Structure 1
Amino acid sequence: MTSTKQMLLPILMVSLFNLVTSAGDEYLPPVKGYNYDRPKIPFPTINQVNRQQLNYKLDKFRKLGKL
């Protein structure tokens, strides 16, 4: 019976330590809140990204002489 108690105490202590140290990882909202300024550079749309990829591939084929 004493060996079980001797095993439980270190396990309990380690569990408690992990619980206390992980409490600092809780989510906190940003100081500014969620009211951020609009970015100066707009985010690309899907069409812009697809056009850029297509132009890149076309240029690659032109350099290889396949177009």
Structure 2
Amino acid sequence: MLASVPLSDAERAAVDDGQSALDQLLERLIDIPTPTGTTPREIGVPATATLLPIVAVNQMPSTNGE
């Protein structure tokens, strides 16, 4: 994803450095207008997000002959 979407240094840090960097980015964006023109603060969206843990997924071979 990083190769196909140009990111600012702050956006890249939010992707690479974890929760605190993400929280800092969201706090800076709280007064930046969305595409509709309203800001996250105006529409009441909190400047927080929770990163979900990455869980390994093991795929089992298909049992129906595929």
TM-score, structure 1 as length reference: 0.23
Higher relative contact order (CA 8 A, sep 6+): 2
Higher-Rg member (1/2) = 1
Q: Which has the higher helix share?
A: 1
TM-score, structure 2 as length reference: 0.24
